[in-house]
A = this chain, B = another copy of it.
Amino acid sequence: MASTINDVAKLAEVSRQTVSRVINEPSLVNPKTLEKVQRAIEILDYHPNVTARLLVNKRVKTMGLFMPFSADQVRQNLFFATLSSTICQICSQSDFVMQMFTSLSREDSSRFFVKLFKEKQVGGLILTCPSVSNDELIFLLSEKIPFIIIGRPGIMSQQINYVDVNNVQAGDLAIEHLIQYGHRRIGFLNGPANMTLSADLNKGVITAAQRHGAKLDIRESETDLTLDSGYHQALILLKSDQRPTAIFTADDLLAVGVKKAADELGLSIPSDLSLISGTNSGWGNIFPQELTYIDTQFERLGDIAAKHMIRFILEEQPSNLSEVLPVRLVLGQTCASAHE
């Protein structure tokens, strides 16, 4: 059996409180005793039982990360891989632990979160939008579960902590860039209609369009952010009469889908078709030329969320987080002047 604090105390001929002190506040211990205890710890290969410790001091140094998608979707979306590894890294720096959860079949997810927290499995949760509906959000608030949303929550409230990328700005910058290049017929592959991401991008697109009057023809298609749906929607757009001369995609996986469709139709990028992506999660590297995209620095989302959660758990101060990160245009070689 593994040795306990009592074993160490016995071997070192001190009380277990002293051993506890050696571990938690060595400066309060007489150097000679300290050494004696440390040697005993060494000999017995003693490791304090985290569980027992938790039971008394109550800081649950664990956070849950909820990724609502199926294995297949997580696999497609590099965003989630980035998120989880970033959060992991931050956790390990502070001796925290990250638990990951994907979609749960058994029960609705918000009940599961409440259970996790109340059972003291986790000290708080990081939820990726749109994993939670507004009803669920309200439920979580009413149950006082500490959580941070990554993305923009569907309802706003002082009590809701979130960190998001400025997708309105992203949509605006992207369309503005295409307009500057003279494009007037623009395809827009957006995400699913129920995501705030999609709503925000759309808002940005409209903002940019309105700045330039009514001569624009912007055609929005809904996708589910997979390669396949990007490919299929792009085919439809590119085969239509008066096909768009440029396409803006919500993310770079969709952009890859567009490229696939363009290749198939013998359209080359950027001479026949300009392409700009609303983010770059890594798929962009596939392009022979550099992809033009909006840099959303979404790695920072995980970083900010995790650090905030750690601070919250350690201090239990319900400080507020509502940050919207600015974005910027990164010029590649997939956009060119429109010519008809």
Contact B84 A100, beta carbon cutoff 8 Å:
yes
A296 to chain B, nearest CB (A): 14
Q: CA A282 – CA B286 in complex, angstroms?
A: 14
Copies in the complex: 2
A281 within 8 A of B: yes
A288 within 8 A of B: yes
Contact B88 A100, beta carbon cutoff 8 Å:
yes
Find chain B residues with CB under 8 A from A97 CB.
99, 121
A256 to chain B, nearest CB (A): 6
Q: CA A282 – CA B80 in complex, angstroms?
A: 15
Partner of A49, one of B81, B119, B281: B119
Interface residues of A (CB under 8 A from B): 2, 45, 47-52, 54-55, 60, 62, 67, 69-71, 74-76, 78, 80-82, 84-86, 88-89, 92, 97-102, 104, 106, 115, 118-121, 227-228, 256, 260, 263-264, 281-282, 285-286, 288, 299
Residue of B nearest to A50 (CB): B119
A110 to chain B, nearest CB (A): 14
A-B contact pairs, 6 of them (CB 8 A): A48-B119, A49-B55, A51-B60, A71-B85, A71-B86, A227-B285
- Interface pairs A-B: 6 shortest CB-CB: A47-B118, A71-B85, A74-B85, A81-B81, A50-B119, A88-B102
Find chain B residues with CB under 8 A from A120 CB.
49-51
Find chain B residues with CB under 8 A from A288 CB.
260, 263-264
Q: CA A71 – CA B338 in complex, angstroms?
A: 38
Find chain B residues with CB under 8 A from A101 CB.
88, 92
Q: CA A254 – CA B115 in complex, angstroms?
A: 43
Q: CA A76 – CA B75 in complex, angstroms?
A: 11
Q: CA A227 – CA B252 in complex, angstroms?
A: 16
Find chain B residues with CB under 8 A from A98 CB.
99-100
Contact B285 A228, beta carbon cutoff 8 Å:
yes
Find chain B residues with CB under 8 A from A104 CB.
92
A327 to chain B, nearest CB (A): 19
Partner of A76, one of B69, B89, B282: B282
A22 to chain B, nearest CB (A): 16
